């Protein structure tokens, strides 16, 4: 009986340690997209789509390619959209979030046409239709060689911090995505020590996080014009940052070497890994976007990713739509060191260690007693 008791103590301890919860880390691989073969918004006033989901309603803002006036529409399913409503804005290349009860927009400080001055403007709205006067964004640490343009800013609010990724241009046909953060959405800091990308001028101390590909790559266009363009970033339900962006290797022309969509992931929004299968979405003959795809706007809707995009068609209007399932490609349990576990895990581990410390001498004494008897 005593031997059984001793063995039982050790068995319980073993179960405690075997049952310790490990950290599960998921990495997503959203590369298989299904496109609508036709447009979901058929209107020549609809370009550069930006979409959010507000409760059960999808809300889209688009820019008229002809004059940069912004229009607004809603949908119950993301596919069938209402009539475009005019707003009071004329802006170029923007993003929209809803922060509490307020819609917030960041845009290029300029209108369609040649690249605007290197700055970003900020706007707010209570209803998505009537927007405030513009506030010019302040960039601390900006004005570097690669800040010739601030193009197509994309902003998310991550906790209490606004995080921006924007197209940076070194002025010699070299394009990057750069990173900045803000506490209030109007004053952004560009960290100059990320060291993730060496610029064309050889500078590694910068706020650049992704650069265009080498000559001949799908995103490696070397001439004037955007080889890398129009990113959209989200932080998914696993806490991983995901980016979709447009690239091309022949300039802004459409066709086989025109704009396609690439994909990258990051644990922190700074260190990015591009998908080996890039590009992940391209135009196909016979489809609405046969001539190229760019300006993606992506949301995670449960376990489905939904993308609205603008087809490259000589600045014609219309919005395309595609979906992808969220796929977990790595979800192995990883038992991390004690300081990295959560509070509940720490308590379980401490209890286990205490039981182990007590059981070893008890087991020894029991064994001696059993031996003597």
Residue among 212, 230, 207 nearest 222 (CA): 212
pLDDT in the model for residue 291: 87
Over residues 197-230, the pLDDT tens digits come to 999 889 899 999 999 999 999 999 988 888 999 9
Rounded Cα distance, 98 and 125, in Å: 9
Please state the separation of Cα 109 from the chain's center in Å. 23
pTM for the predicted model, two decimal places: 0.80
**Average pLDDT of span 349-360:** 48
Between vectors from CA 192 to CA 340 and to CA 279, what angle results, nearest 5°?
Answer: 75
**What dihedral do alpha carbons 123, 180, 206, 92 form, nearest 10°?**
-30
Strand order in the sheet with 34-35: 34-35, 320-325, 304-311, 293-301
Q: Check if the beta carbon of residue 259 is closer than 8 Å to that of residue 233.
A: no
Q: Are 189 and 207 in contact (CB under 8 A)?
A: no
Q: At a CB cut-off of 8 Å and minimum separation 6, what does 41 contact?
A: 49, 60, 62, 73, 81, 84, 317, 318, 319
Ranges 35-39, 238-242, 351-355: which has the least confidence: 351-355
Q: Does position 158 have pLDDT exceeding 70, yes or no?
A: yes
Task: Check pLDDT > 50 for residue 342.
Answer: no
Q: What integer pLDDT is reported at residue 357 of this predicted model?
A: 56
Rounded Cα distance, 85 and 63, in Å: 11
For residues 25-36, b (16+ Cβ closer than 10 Å) or e, as one string?
Answer: bbebbbbebebe
Separation of alpha carbons 206 and 141, rounded Å:
9
Instruction: Tell me phi and psi for residue 94, to 5 degrees.
Output: -135, 170
Cα of 216 vs its chain's centroid, Å:
26
Per-residue tokens: 197: 């990308």
Residue that wins the pLDDT comparison between 21 and 184 = 184
pLDDT at 328: 63
Task: Using pLDDT thresholds of 50, 70 and 90, give the confidence band for residue 254.
Answer: confident
Do 47 and 62 contact (CB within 8 A), yes or no? yes
Residue located via tokens 């068995």: 11
> Residue 189: what pLDDT?
96
Higher pLDDT, 132 or 11: 132
Stretch 265-294: mean pLDDT: 92
pLDDT score of 358 more than 60: no
Q: What is the pLDDT of residues 169-187, one digit of tens each?
A: 887 778 999 999 999 999 9
């Amino acid at each position: 009986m005593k031997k059984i008791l001793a063995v039982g103590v050790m068995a319980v301890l073993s179960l405690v340690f075997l049952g310790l919860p490990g950290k599960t880390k998921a990495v997503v691989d959203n590369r298989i997209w299904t496109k609508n073969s036709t447009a979901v918004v058929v209107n020549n006033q609809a370009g550069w789509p930006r979409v959010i989901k507000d409760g059960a309603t999808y809300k889209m803002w688009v820019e008229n390619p002809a004059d940069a006036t912004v229009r607004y529409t809603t949908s119950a399913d993301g596919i069938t959209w209402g009539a475009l409503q005019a707003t009071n804005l004329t802006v170029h290349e923007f993003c929209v979030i809803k922060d509490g009860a307020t819609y917030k927009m960041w845009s290029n400080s300029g209108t369609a046409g040649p690249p605007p001055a290197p700055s970003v403007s900020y706007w707010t709205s209570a209803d998505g239709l009537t927007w405030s006067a513009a506030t010019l964004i302040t960039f601390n640490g900006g004005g570097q060689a690669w800040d010739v343009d601030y193009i197509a800013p994309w902003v998310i609010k991550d906790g209490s911090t606004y995080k921006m990724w924007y197209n940076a241009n070194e002025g010699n046909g070299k394009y990057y995505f750069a990173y900045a953060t803000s506490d209030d959405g109007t004053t952004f800091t560009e960290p100059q020590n990320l060291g993730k990308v060496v610029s064309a001028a050889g500078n590694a101390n910068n706020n650049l996080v992704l650069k265009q590909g080498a000559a001949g790559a799908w995103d490696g266009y070397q001439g004037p014009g955007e080889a890398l363009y129009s990113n959209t970033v989200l932080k998914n339900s696993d806490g991983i940052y995901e980016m979709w962006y447009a690239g091309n290797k022949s300039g802004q022309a459409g066709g086989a070497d025109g704009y396609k969509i690439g994909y990258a992931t990051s644990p922190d929004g700074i260190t990015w890994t591009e998908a080996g299968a890039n590009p992940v979405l391209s135009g196909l003959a016979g489809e609405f976007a046969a001539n190229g795809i760019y300006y993606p706007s992506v949301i995670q809707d449960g376990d489905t990713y939904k993308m609205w995009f603008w087809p490259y068609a000589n600045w014609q209007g219309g919005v395309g739509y595609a979906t992808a399932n969220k796929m977990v490609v790595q979800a192995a349990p990883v038992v991390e060191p004690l300081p990295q576990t959560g509070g509940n895990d720490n308590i379980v581990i401490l209890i286990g260690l205490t039981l182990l410390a007590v059981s070893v001498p008890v087991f020894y004494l029991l064994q001696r007693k059993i031996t003597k008897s």
